Amino acid sequence: MKLVIKPKKGFGKIEVEIPQELLEKIAELSEHYRVPEEKILEIAISENFKEPKGDLKALENSVEELKKKVGILEKEWAPLRYKAYGVSEDNKLLAIELSGLLAENSQLKRFLRKKIDKNLELRKLIQYYLR
């Protein structure tokens, strides 16, 4: 693959041929760190590497421990999220039913020629749960 580097200003450009195995390594790094391939090339060309501030093996071990803790927390959190979703859907259904009952009530009051009250706070609450 041919890489063309153009300056921000001016006409000069640099063309470099990149071997296929290097491209594969860049793609692997890109996938592993979830960074665009262009960013990896930019870091490699500018030599803007960051050195770890400690033992790399210890840092990797701490990352693995944190991943395990996240997994445990996710297992605890998932059922709660599912229950919260169920409750929110129940609230939506109740809000729809309440809205229908309010409409029916106002129609009956209109039929009986009685004063119709607006219930603005109740309607705001219904709109909140319908979102």
Share of the chain above pLDDT 90, in %: 45
Domain ranges for the chain: 1-44, 54-128
Q: What pLDDT, on the 0 to 100 scale, is given for residue 48?
A: 64
pLDDT at residue 69, as a whole number: 96
- Per DSSP, the chain holds a count of helices (H) and strands (E) of 4, 2
Neighbours of 122 (CB within 10 A): 13
**Side-chain half-sphere exposure of 28, counting CA atoms within 13 A:** 6
pLDDT tens digits along 31-53 = 988 888 888 887 777 776 667 67
List pLDDT tens digits, range 74-131: 999 999 999 999 999 999 999 999 999 999 999 999 999 999 888 889 999 999 988 8
